[in-house]
Amino acid sequence: MTEARGDDFVMRDSEEQSAGQGGEQAEKSTGTLPEINFSSFVLSLGSSALFHFGEIPDPASGEKKRDLALARQTIDILVILRDKTTGNLSEDEAQLLENLLHDLQMRYVQERGK
C-alpha cells in the first residue's frame, strides 16, 4: 500500500481505491485517465491557456471563446511554477516548461495587439 500524506488528507494508490470502491468503477475511471506527472500537468495548463486564447473549442458547446485575462492568469501560474521549481526539475521538464512559457507569452503579446 502506498500513501502520500498531506496536512489534511491521505491519498492512496489506485489499487487500494479499487478495492474500497467496488473495484469495477474505479478501474474503469483510472484505466482511461492519462498518467499524471509534471509534464502532463504543465501541458494541461498549456491547453487551458490555448482554450482561453480561443484556439480550442468548449467541449460542451463547441464554441471558441477568447478571454485574454484568463489566458494571462494561466501564463502567470506557469511562471510561478517555473520559479518555485527551479533546480528541482529534470532537464527535459525544465525545457518543456521554458518552451511552453515562451510560446504562450509570445502568443499573448500577439493576441493583445489584435
Global pTM value: 0.71
Mean pLDDT throughout 35-58?
95
State yes or no: pLDDT of 88 exceeds 90: yes
44 and 100 Cβ atoms separated by less than 8 Å: no
pLDDT at 20: 47
- Give the list of residues 6+ apart from residue 33 with CB closer than 8 angstroms, or none: none
> Angle 107-113-114 (CA atoms, 0-180°, nearest 5)?
95
* Lowest-confidence segment of 8-17, 38-47, 78-87, 97-106 by average pLDDT: 8-17
All structural domains of the chain with their residue ranges: 3-32, 38-112
